Amino acid sequence: MYTLGEFIIENRDRFSYSTEALLRLFSSIKLASKAIHKEVNKAGLTEELIGSSGFTNIQGENQQKLDDFAHRAFIESFKSRNVVCGIASEESKDFIVIKGEQENFFKNQCIVLIDPLDGSSNIDVNVSIGTIFSVYMRKSSIQMNLTIEDFLQKGNKQILAGYIIYGSSTILVYSIGNGVHGFTLDPSVGTFYLSHSNLRFPNAERIYSINEGNYAKFSNGIRRFIRYCQEQKDNRPYTARYIGSLVGDFHRNLIQGGIYIYPKTASSPEGKLRLLYECNPMAFLAEEAGGKASNGKKRILDIKPTKLHQRTPFFCGPIGMVTKLEEFMINYE
Ligand code: P6P
C-alpha cells in the first residue's frame, strides 16, 4: 500500500522541479485536507461550522462557515512549509503574499490558486464537496515583489493540479503531468494511500452532467446536444447525472465516463465556473486522463487569463463527447 509520500519519492524523476518542493506542497495540502475532512464529517453535529458565515465572498456568493474554515486552513498550512510565495483563493479578492523566512527565501517559489471548498452549498444536504488546487512556479524574479502576472499564467504552465473530494471517503487526486493518481485517506491513521493509479476516462461514454434547469437559457447547440444524448439511437447508453458539485461530478465522470457541461447563459454570459482555480486544474487532470476540456471554441489550458476571478464556459470529459458538443455548438450556434 503506497502512501502519497512514498509514491512521490518513487516517481520523483518525473517531476521537473524539486522533489523537496513537491513534498512540501503535499505536506501542506494533506494537513489542511485532513482538518477539513474532520470538520466536514461532523458539520451536522456542530452548529459553529454549519450554515452561512453571514458574509458574502468576492463572488457575491453566500459564504458558508466551512468555506472560511477551509480557506484559513490552506493559507495557514501553506504559510508554514516554506514552499509557496503567493496564494489566490476564491475566498479572497486579491492574492495573498507569503513572505518566507530569509534563510528559506530561495525555496518559496510556488504560486497556488485554490478553491478551498467547492460546492459548499451542498454541505447542509450532505452531498460531496471538494477542494481544487492549481500550482505554478512564480514568473517574477525572486528579488522583486510578486505581481498579478505570477497568477495570470495559462493553464498549460501548471506544474501540479488536483482536487480533494470529501465524500463517502476523502480522496486526493492529482497530476504533475505524468498521469492522474488518486489517494484515499485512512482516517484511522491519518494517511493517504494510493487507491487509483493512472486514472483515465474509460472508453464507454455514458454520462452527461448539466443543470437542465437552465435549459431555457441555453444556446441551440447545447439544447441539441442534450437531445442527442437523450435519443437512444444506435443504443447510445447516455444517462443524466448532476449533483451541483464540480468535484463530485468530475470525479464520477472520470471514473465512469462522462462529460461535464457548464455553458454561458443569458444571465451568466461568461459561464459560472472560474478559469484559474476550477477550470484550469480540472482541464489539466482531464487531459492527463486522456480527455479534453474546452470553452466550446478553445482549449481551456491555452486561454490567457486577464483577471483573477474570471469565469469561462466549461466543457470537460472524454475527447469524443467534448468534440461532439463543440460540433453541435458550431453547427447550431
Ligand atoms: P449550478 C458550485 O457552486 C459550483 O461552482 C460547482 O461546484 C458546480 O458544478 C456548479 O457551481 C453548480 O452550479 O448553477 O448548477 O447550481
Atom 2 (ligand 1): residue with closest C-alpha? 119
Pocket test for ligand 1, best of 163, 245, 275, 276 (most atoms within 8 A of CB): 245
User: How would DSSP label each residue in 90-121?
Assistant: TT-SS-EE----GGGGGG--EEEEEEEEETGG
Domain assignment present for 201: no
Atom of ligand 1 nearest to the CA of 61: 3
Domain assignment present for 23: yes
- Asked whether residue 267 falls in the same domain as residue 297, the answer is yes
Number of domains in the chain: 2
* pTM of structure: 0.94
- Asked whether residue 17 falls in the same domain as residue 150, the answer is yes
- pLDDT tens track, the chain, 333 positions: 899 999 999 988 888 788 889 999 999 999 999 999 999 887 666 655 556 666 666 666 666 688 999 999 999 999 988 899 999 999 999 999 998 666 555 568 999 999 999 998 888 888 999 999 999 999 999 888 999 999 999 999 999 999 999 999 999 999 999 999 999 999 999 999 999 999 999 988 999 999 999 999 999 999 999 999 999 777 777 999 999 999 999 999 999 999 999 999 888 899 999 999 999 999 999 999 999 999 999 999 999 999 999 999 999 999 999 999 999 999 997
Q: Quick one: how far is CA 243 from the chain centroid? A: 16
- The amino acid that residue 150 corresponds to is D
- Asked whether residue 160 falls in the same domain as residue 239, the answer is no
Domain assignment present for 202: no
Q: What is the pLDDT at residue 304?
A: 98
Name the phi and psi angles at 227, rounded to 5.
Answer: -65, -35
User: Ligand 1 within 6 A of 272 CB?
Assistant: yes
User: Ligand 1 within 6 A of 90 CB?
Assistant: no
User: Ligand 1 within 6 A of 311 CB?
Assistant: no
Domain assignment present for 40: yes
- Asked whether residue 189 falls in the same domain as residue 252, the answer is no
- Asked whether residue 162 falls in the same domain as residue 221, the answer is no
- The amino acid that residue 248 corresponds to is G
CA of 228 to the centre of ligand 1 (A): 23
- The grid coordinates of residue 98 equal 507569503
User: Ligand 1 within 6 A of 67 CB?
Assistant: no
What CATH number should be reported for the domain holding residue 213? 3.40.190.80
Q: What is the pLDDT at residue 121?
A: 82
Domain assignment present for 118: yes
User: Ligand 1 within 6 A of 246 CB?
Assistant: yes
Sign (positive/negative) of CA torsion 116, 128, 53, 152?
positive
Q: Is 296 left (phi over 0), alpha (psi -120 to 50) or beta?
A: left
C-alpha angle with apex 38: 181 to 100, nearest 5 degrees? 70
Range of the domain at 233: 207-332
Domain assignment present for 239: yes
